[in-house]
Amino acid sequence: GKTHKDIKQLEQRIKKLESERKRNSQSNNISTATGLSRSFNPAISLHGLLLGTYNSEGNDNSSQSNKTGLSVEELELQLAGNVDTWFRVQSTFSMEGTSQFGLEELVGSGLITNNLSLQVGKLFVPIGKHNQLHTHSQPFVATPVSNEMVLGEDGLKEIGFGASYLLPVPFFSEINLQILEGENDTLFASTLNDGFAYLTRSGNSFDLSDETTMDANLAYAFGDNSLSGPYRTTEVLGVDIRFKHKPLGREGYRTTIWQSEFLTSTREQVKTGFYTYLQQQFAKRWWMQGRYSHSYQGSDRSDQNQYSFALSYFPSEFLETKLEYTHLNQYAADENQLFLRLNFTLGAHKGHNY
What's the pLDDT band for 67 if we cut at 50, 70, 90? confident
Other C-beta atoms lying within 10 Å of the C-beta of residue 201: 21
Q: Which amino acid would we find at residue 345?
A: T
- 69 touches 98 (CB < 8 A): no
> What integer pLDDT is reported at residue 29 of this predicted model?
47
DSSP state at residue 10: H
Query: Residue 65 pLDDT more than 60?
Result: yes
Find the largest Cα–Cα distance for the chain: 97
> What integer pLDDT is reported at residue 232 of this predicted model?
85
Share of the chain above pLDDT 70, in %: 84
- 95 touches 75 (CB < 8 A): yes
> What integer pLDDT is reported at residue 40 of this predicted model?
64
DSSP state at residue 39: G
Query: Residue 34 pLDDT more than 50?
Result: no
Instruction: Kindly report the average pLDDT of the chain as a whole number.
Output: 87
Between 53-57, 121-125, 192-196, 211-215, the lowest mean confidence (pLDDT) is in 192-196
CA–CA distance, 123 with 104 (Å, rounded to integer): 9
Between 67-71, 173-177, 192-196, the lowest mean confidence (pLDDT) is in 192-196
Query: Residue 131 pLDDT more than 70?
Result: yes
Which whole number is the average pLDDT over 335-353?
84
Name, in order, each residue with C-beta under 8 angstroms of 211's C-beta and a sequence gap of 6 or more: 245, 246, 247, 248
pTM over 0.75: yes
Domain residues of the chain, as ranges?
41-347
Fold of 41-347: Porin (2.40.160)
Which whole number is the average pLDDT over 87-104?
89
**3-state helix/strand/coil string of 186-201:** CCCCCCCCCCCEEEEE
Which whole number is the average pLDDT over 101-129?
94
Other C-beta atoms lying within 10 Å of the C-beta of residue 195: 18
> C-alpha angle 205/257/248, rounded to 5°?
80
What's the pLDDT band for 340 if we cut at 50, 70, 90? very high
CA–CA distance, 162 with 119 (Å, rounded to integer): 5
Max mean pLDDT range (14-18, 229-233, 332-336)? 332-336
CA–CA distance, 93 with 342 (Å, rounded to integer): 19
**Which candidate, 74, 146, 158, places its Cα nearest to that of 122?**
158
Query: Residue 35 pLDDT more than 60?
Result: no
**Which candidate, 114, 231, 253, places its Cα nearest to that of 174?**
114
Query: Residue 27 pLDDT more than 90?
Result: no
- 198 touches 219 (CB < 8 A): no
